[in-house]
Structure 1
Amino acid sequence: MGDKSADGTPVTVKCLVWDLDNTLWRGTLLEDGEVSLPDSVREVIVELDARGVLQSVASKNDHEPAWSRLEELGLAEYFVLPQIGWGRKSDSVARIAEQLNFAQRTIAFVDDQPAERAEVVFHLPEVRCYAAEQVDELLKLPEFDPGTRTVDSARRREMYQAGFRREAERSEFNGPDEEFLRSLELVLGITRATPDDLARVEELTLRTSQMNATGVHYSDRALHGLLADPKHEVLVTTLTDRFGPHGAVGVLLLEKHASVWHLKLLATSCRVVSFGAGATILNWLADQAAQAGAHLAADFRRTDRNRMMEIAYRFAGFDDRPCACRAELAAPGAEIQLLHLEPARQPASPTIRVDAPDLV
């Protein structure tokens, strides 16, 4: 059923889809009129949300009374992309996975009816299905435990909901892209990482591949060592707009020498590429280096997925021509290119306001 990774460990569930009648609540809404919510179910929903596991609904019901009941129970806010109607459950689950852009193997479905679970498994064999009787045990299962929790985990649902509102407005916007971006009131925050931030930094180095300049993973231990080194800057970037937070969207690892700043790693989330976050980060760093009178050197290792990052570096002006400042740097590792930029003062982004420390 696609529930194991290559090393045999369970693939983490990224979204749990709930049936309603006799699963999430006790009773059948259209027959009984009144249904009840067990405290244990509420606890599961709240805890999964805190872990960063998204949740949705696939229920055969009339939408308005079912959604109204979820609102009365104080649960409606926990569910993204609810599918409440009279179609096949497998179609509902497939739509949820598609709109979230999640692989079906990361989706789980819980229903009290064996026939409904069988229908989902038949059409979507990678989706993991659970009986309603298993709900109280879900929190103990390894596939529902993402492991390290970060600040972004607890607000992952909020970020996705903001994203849906943002995309809905974007689809209705008739002006140029730059005008829409300006209307978002984007703010790129760049901060020096603290020990509490390191889980987010490590997660970004692990999960980001298309916009990761080297593909190198920095462990929690290695990152703690860099925090303690006065020559290194470990920087975390966040993005917010008028719809809400995008969360942590990038990490920079920078080693500062007398005449050259060495960018050892730049990784940004793919979800913010269209907002120009990567270019804004590089322009800010180039401007900081120019103020310090330093050259910029950046490690880059080409992979089969990070072509977009190479384009970002080249577009920012980095090239691989020889430079005397390289003598200050340790020899690059295997397959690592050392790119060079002679930075100059950069104008502010017309669409993103940068809130960042002064590195000079």
Structure 2
Amino acid sequence: MTAQSAPVKCLVWDLDNTLWEGTLLEGGAGTPFETVRRTIETLDRRGILNSIASKNDYDLAWQRLEEAGLAEYFVIPKIGWWPKSRSVREIAEALKFAPAAVAFVDDQPAERAEVQFHLPEVRCYTAEQVATLTTLSEFTPATATVDSRQRRQMYQAGFRRDAERDGFDGPDHSFLRTLELELRIERASEADLARVEELTARTTQMNTTGVHYPAPTLRGLLDDPRYEVLVATLSDRFGPYGAIGIVLLEKFDTVWHLELFATSCRVVSIGVGGAILDWLSTQAARNNVHLIADFRATDRNRIMEVTYRFAGYTDDPCDCRAELATDGQSLTRLHLLPAVHEPPTTLRLSSVPLSPVQLSATDGTHQ
């Protein structure tokens, strides 16, 4: 994939004669162009962020955006008198995006040239192109998930959360208790398949096998009574984190097989991975079954083996392993004798109960 065909994750807007007609400081700024408004709203629904790089007075510009009902759409706006390449660079760094994932639109050729000179990977567009931006492939994600439609709110919540943490005088576990964290573990639905697939593909460090499950495969698992396809979401008083974990569990008579466990790197410091594994251990204990978890080492996921070991998974032999067929691939199968765990004190947990499978292991072979 070339830089020009890679998806755009954030579009940075100029204001004068781009977002609205006229120059604000000369008293000539009108209402935002309707094509601009439609483009901003469409990109936002697609999960593409909007930001600002404008040479202007911040207070006046922000007031005009608020009056127009557009201020809420912009993350990390840079409105001041420094070079626009600096603004675009700072926006990309704050979002942790590579320059190739950022685009810039400005009516002035000199401003576009200045950005391209210092940031050649940033794609630049003219004000005249705004009306057609949403038809371009780089602004058209293949899928629009529940999380992509709330991506802006997730970033804005993250910035507010980080700002409060910076001003908090105390240890991390005390700060976590102030967040009013809520972890939800639910069965995936058809509407969840796109974001579950995305998690299997994009979580590389916190993925126990590194295997990508495409949507058709996941859809088949939803229809298989032996399988539980579970999605974990997290929120706090600042807003949503979105889908942050998935569990693919195959259930046999005396053993539950944890085929895949993946969590987002964004929630490592919160301890969500351990909370999900403790919940799963509790569910298995209440159903009087053992747990076996697959781990396949990659060049990035060593931390997930540590997570399993810390949760009590071992290499200890057990007769329950005989209930699982081998797939002939290079993986480690870790064993756990489940136990009932108390929910963590730093978050509120709500979940679906898991129940025994009605089929025996002889009703089908392990895939």
| 2:16 and 2:29 in contact (8 A); partners too | no
Normalising to structure 1: TM-score of the pair? 0.96
CA offsets 1:46-101 (integer angstroms, 9 cap, x no match): 00000000110000001000111111111000000000000011111111111111
Normalising to structure 2: TM-score of the pair? 0.94
CA offsets 1:284-319 (integer angstroms, 9 cap, x no match): 001111111111111111111112212111111112
Task: Using the TM superposition, give the Cα deviation of residue 280 of structure 1 relative to its aligned residue in structure 2, in angstroms.
Answer: 0.5
Alignment correspondent of 2:347: 352
The one-letter amino acid of 1:14's match is K
Alignment correspondent of 1:91: 86
For 1:87, what is the secondary structure of its paired residue?
Answer: coil
The one-letter amino acid of 1:285's match is L
Which of 305, 323, 326 in structure 1 is aligned with 2:321?
Answer: 326
Task: Using the TM superposition, give the Cα deviation of residue 147 of structure 1 relative to its aligned residue in structure 2, in angstroms.
Answer: 1.4
| 2:92 and 2:99 in contact (8 A); partners too | yes
What is the Cα-based RMSD across aligned positions, in Å? Answer: 1.3
Which of 266, 287, 291 in structure 2 is aligned with 1:271?
Answer: 266
In structure 2, C-alpha distance between the alignment counterparts of 1:98 and 1:336, rounded to whole Å: 37
CA offsets 1:138-174 (integer angstroms, 9 cap, x no match): 0011000111111111111011111111111011111
In structure 2, C-alpha distance between the alignment counterparts of 1:15 and 1:100, rounded to whole Å: 9
The one-letter amino acid of 1:175's match is G
**Is the deviation greater in 242-251 or in 326-335?**
326-335
Is 1:175 paired with 2:170? yes
| 1:236 and 1:250 in contact (8 A); partners too | yes
Alignment correspondent of 2:66: 71
In structure 2, C-alpha distance between the alignment counterparts of 1:41 and 1:80, rounded to whole Å: 16
In structure 2, C-alpha distance between the alignment counterparts of 1:107 and 1:310, rounded to whole Å: 35
In the comparison of the two structures, how many residue pairs are matched? Answer: 355
Q: In the TM superposition, what are the counterparts of 1:130-149 in structure 2 within 5 Å?
A: 130-149=125-144
CA offsets 1:9-67 (integer angstroms, 9 cap, x no match): x2111111001111111111111343232211110000000000011000000100011
CA offsets 1:178-199 (integer angstroms, 9 cap, x no match): 1110111111000011111111
| 1:105 and 1:128 in contact (8 A); partners too | yes
Task: Using the TM superposition, give the Cα deviation of residue 333 of structure 1 relative to its aligned residue in structure 2, in angstroms.
Answer: 4.5
In structure 1, C-alpha distance between the alignment counterparts of 2:315 and 2:113, rounded to whole Å: 57
Q: Give the percent of matched residue pairs that are identical in Structure 1 and Structure 2.
A: 63
Deviation beyond 6 Å, 4+ runs, structure 1: none
| 1:280 and 1:352 in contact (8 A); partners too | no
For 2:292, what is the secondary structure of its paired residue?
Answer: strand
In structure 2, C-alpha distance between the alignment counterparts of 1:299 and 1:125, rounded to whole Å: 43
Task: Using the TM superposition, give the Cα deviation of residue 262 of structure 1 relative to its aligned residue in structure 2, in angstroms.
Answer: 0.3
Task: Using the TM superposition, give the Cα deviation of residue 209 of structure 1 relative to its aligned residue in structure 2, in angstroms.
Answer: 0.8
| 2:274 and 2:311 in contact (8 A); partners too | yes
Alignment correspondent of 2:102: 107
In structure 1, C-alpha distance between the alignment counterparts of 2:55 and 2:73, rounded to whole Å: 19
| 1:50 and 1:155 in contact (8 A); partners too | yes
Unaligned runs of 5+ in 1: 5-9
Note closer, same or farther for the CA distance 1:320–1:75 as it changes in structure 2 (3 Å cut). same
The one-letter amino acid of 1:106's match is A
The one-letter amino acid of 2:81's match is W
The one-letter amino acid of 1:284's match is W
The one-letter amino acid of 1:232's match is Y
